[in-house]
Chain A
Amino acid sequence: MDERAPVERLIAEIVRDARLGSERERDELRRELESHFADASSSSGAGPSAIERFGNPAAVSSDLRAVHRATGGIVRALRIASAVAISAIVALSLQLGANLQVPSHGSAVRIGGGFLYSAIFSGLIIVVLVLAWELDIEALCTRLEREPIRLVLTVLIMAMAMMLVHALHDTSLAPAVATRASAVDVAIWTSTVAILVKTDRLFVAAFRRRAR
């Protein structure tokens, strides 16, 4: 039985009702469905036709419409902004805690002079990790807290890098201070990756529920 005309009508109906945002996306969907039915029709045999096996086209186009609406550019920007905001709050809290100076006598608690540079460096860490996450650079987005040896090595390497930078500027940085600062930076790194993972999952789950 020649299914070509009904298949072409079905594909046109799905592409139309999916209401995708661009001609490129509509062409892409059309090609994919044409490819599906080309394979399905050649393997139909005596069983249900390719159209019968495909299911309700209205349901498919409705789901496609919801998916493309829920995962568009604005939603992605919102997801990234959320992750950056939460990571920044966590990073600033950690740096504040690390840079607070509590004097032994009665004078007020104050923030150490290194806080500004630490905060800027933390911001750089967050930006690099968000970019790495969006560009899928796996090496930077591993969960360090699950690899203790790698975590410790990262802290030590960063501490040594800090001491080297200070030495190049003819200033000294005690190993204990460098290690503590580096540990805070690595904590910011691991928390940012964890926040990126959680934010991704929350947004995907939220829009999957909304699409139903």
Chain B
Amino acid sequence: MDYDREFLTGTVGVLILSLLSERAMYGYEMLQEAERRSAKQFQMKEGTLYPALHQMERAGFLKAVWREGESGRARKYYSLTAKGRRHAESKRKQWDSISAAMRAILGTSNG
């Protein structure tokens, strides 16, 4: 499904923080995990992930290290910093609150 950009803006950040709250991941792994968990409902243009990752890393929410996997391929793994964990918690609460409010409003307006 194609989503309007206005809905996706800000969503990518929350997505990244949420996934990395569980464990360190590399970029492509985050994309695959988001697709898998949403049963392919959420498929973003893959390139949009990297500016978001770089912004969050430079803002101090993420840190990155290169690691070699079993296949010998090197990948850049991102993880949350302490500041990032606090930010993730704050964003999650805001998201929960906003989505509950929107569901209530949209549910009411649909009758």
- Kindly state the separation between the CA atoms of A68 and B56 in the bound complex, as whole angstroms: 11
Contact A60 B50 (CB under 8 A): yes
Contact flag A54-B46 (CB < 8 Å), given A67-B54, A136-B82: yes
Contact B58 A53 (CB under 8 A): no
Tell me the smallest distance from the CB of B82 to a CB of chain A, in Å: 4
Chain B at the A interface: SS class: helix
Q: For A211, what are the chain B residues with a Cβ–Cβ distance below 8 Å? A: 55
> Using an 8 Å CB-CB cutoff, how does the interface string of A113-153 with B read, 1 for contact, 0 for none?
00000000000000000000110111001000000000000
> Using an 8 Å CB-CB cutoff, how does the interface string of A17-54 with B read, 1 for contact, 0 for none?
00000000000110111011011100100000000011
A36 touches which of B27, B48, B51, B54 (Cβ 8 Å): B27
Interface residues of A in 48-79 (CB under 8 A from B): 53-57, 59-60, 63-64, 66-68, 70-71
> A7 contacts the other chain (Cβ, under 8 Å)?
no
Kindly state the interface size class of chain A when it binds its partner.
35 or more
- Kindly state the separation between the CA atoms of A47 and B98 in the bound complex, as whole angstroms: 35
Q: Which residues of A contact B (CB under 8 A)?
A: 14, 28-29, 31-33, 35-36, 38-40, 43, 53-57, 59-60, 63-64, 66-68, 70-71, 133-134, 136-138, 141, 197, 200, 204, 208, 211
Q: Which residues of B contact A (CB under 8 A)?
A: 26-29, 32, 45-48, 50-51, 54-55, 58-60, 66, 73-76, 81-83, 86
